[in-house]
């Protein structure tokens, strides 16, 4: 919200902790965001001073400088790990470098790196689940219960609460669609031209998924056939340190249906207070600085969302289907039902 208000120059004060207790519906107030003060009634002097400001904020040197810097920092160009352009030479921003480094690290671990080769890794263990997720857990401190020495662990032996909540939601009855969904002719033909993410991996390493965990932190990379989910998050009792970064990309069908699924994801995430960026079939959702109880609810949401949308692009045959399936999810439905459109 703060980012949107800043963009549209709406005076805003956040994290007051008591505004809803003091301010009443319909009360007229004047918000001085520069001094972090809210005045009861209309303060004409403040409004006049704002109107006669000499230089619009967008014309200031600082604003223009930040705009130029942001183009070198936040824009993401290397989105598709399958593309020939997914290499260091095509990294143009800091976001590109971070994305590329993350993907290369995931591939390296998937190719069989040993914990002894990484000083910060305490254990590298397979996680046994009720669904075929093929998930390897990399513990960097406190993410797995003490005294566990087995090469395969259960969800109950995970100490990383964010991962535990997310996977409990993902493995709940009905969330993970076990039955294949029928492709129509257009989707079937598109599946022939889709490429599996096999660059740099031997056939016995395909679809290896990774969770890098500590007690409060998780970085989850899921390669679910033709599409990718990534969750990077931290959850603690300190709301200022809490955040979730969620990214979704790809699909088995043609680009139009993959884009529809991205729109559906954006709709659901925005309904649940995430700030969303989208480009084609790429979706990025962010939320931060919320309390622990709300964080737990968001992790449950992400777990359900990953399972619910896993094969959904196949069923999104029209724009009307976006609203239909989004409404089904928001009503609490777990299993996919066919739209009447």
- How many Cβ atoms from other residues are within 10 Å of residue 198's Cβ? 13
Q: Which of the 8 DSSP states describes residue 267?
A: H
Give yes or no for residue 245 having a pLDDT over 90: yes
Give yes or no for residue 196 having a pLDDT over 50: no
In tens, the pLDDT along 266-311 reads 999 999 999 999 888 889 999 999 999 999 999 999 999 999 988 7
Q: Which of the 8 DSSP states describes residue 34?
A: T
CA pair distance 170, 270, nearest whole angstrom: 20
Give yes or no for residue 192 having a pLDDT over 70: no
CA pair distance 299, 312, nearest whole angstrom: 20
What are the backbone angles phi and psi of residue 118, rounded to the nearest 5°? -120, 115
In tens, the pLDDT along 218-231 reads 999 998 867 789 99
Q: What angle do CA 28, 275, 171 make, to 5 degrees?
A: 125
Give yes or no for residue 257 having a pLDDT over 70: yes
> In the prediction, which pLDDT does 80 show?
81
How would you label 120-143 residue by residue, b for 16+ Cβ within 10 Å and e otherwise?
ebbbbbebeeeeebbbbbbbbeeb
CA pair distance 158, 155, nearest whole angstrom: 5
Question: Of 265, 267, 254, 269, nearest to 193 (Cα)?
Answer: 254
> In the prediction, which pLDDT does 53 show?
63
- How many Cβ atoms from other residues are within 10 Å of residue 267's Cβ? 18
Q: What is the mean pLDDT of the chain?
A: 82
Question: Of 305, 306, 273, nearest to 290 (Cα)?
Answer: 273
Helix (H, G, I), strand (E, B) or coil at 279: strand
In tens, the pLDDT along 318-335 reads 888 899 999 999 988 766
* Strands, E assignment, 129-208: 135-139, 152-154
Predicted TM-score (pTM) of the model is 0.67
Helix (H, G, I), strand (E, B) or coil at 32: strand
Q: Where are the domains of the chain?
A: 2-53, 64-110, 121-330
CA pair distance 220, 102, nearest whole angstrom: 11
What are the backbone angles phi and psi of residue 121, rounded to the nearest 5°? -90, 125
Confidence of residue 200 (pLDDT cuts 50, 70, 90): very low
């Amino acid at each position: 919200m703060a980012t949107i208000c800043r963009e549209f120059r709406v005076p805003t004060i956040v994290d007051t902790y008591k505004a809803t207790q003091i301010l009443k519906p319909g009360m007229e107030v004047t918000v001085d965001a520069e001094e972090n003060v809210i005045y009861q009634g209309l303060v004409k002097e403040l409004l006049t001073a704002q109107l006669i400001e000499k230089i619009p904020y967008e014309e200031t040197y600082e604003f223009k400088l930040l705009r130029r810097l942001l183009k070198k920092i936040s824009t993401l160009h290397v989105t598709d790990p399958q593309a020939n352009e997914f290499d260091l030479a095509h990294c143009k921003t800091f976001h590109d470098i971070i994305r590329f480094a993350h993907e290369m690290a995931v591939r390296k671990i998937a190719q069989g790196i040993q914990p002894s080769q990484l000083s910060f890794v305490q254990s590298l263990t397979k996680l046994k689940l009720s669904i075929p997720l093929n998930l390897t857990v990399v513990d960097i401190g406190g993410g797995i219960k003490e005294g566990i020495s087995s090469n395969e662990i259960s969800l109950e032996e995970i100490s990383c609460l964010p991962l535990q909540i997310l996977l409990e939601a993902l493995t709940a009855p009905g969330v993970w669609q076990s039955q294949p969904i029928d492709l129509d002719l257009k989707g079937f033909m598109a599946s022939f031209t889709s490429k599996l993410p096999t660059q740099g991996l031997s056939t016995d390493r395909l679809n290896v998924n990774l969770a890098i965990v500590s007690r409060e932190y998780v970085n989850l990379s899921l390669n679910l056939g033709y599409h990718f989910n990534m969750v990077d998050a931290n959850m603690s009792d300190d709301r200022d340190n809490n955040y979730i970064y969620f990214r979704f990309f790809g699909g088995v069908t043609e680009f139009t249906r993959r884009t529809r699924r991205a729109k559906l994801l954006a709709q659901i995430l925005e309904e649940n207070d995430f700030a969303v960026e989208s480009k084609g079939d790429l979706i990025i959702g962010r939320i931060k600085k919320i309390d622990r109880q709300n964080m737990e609810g968001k992790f449950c949401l992400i777990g359900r969302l990953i399972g619910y949308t896993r094969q959904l692009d196949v069923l999104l045959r029209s724009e009307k289907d976006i609203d239909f399936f989004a409404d089904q999810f928001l009503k609490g439905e777990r299993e996919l039902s066919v739209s009447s459109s």
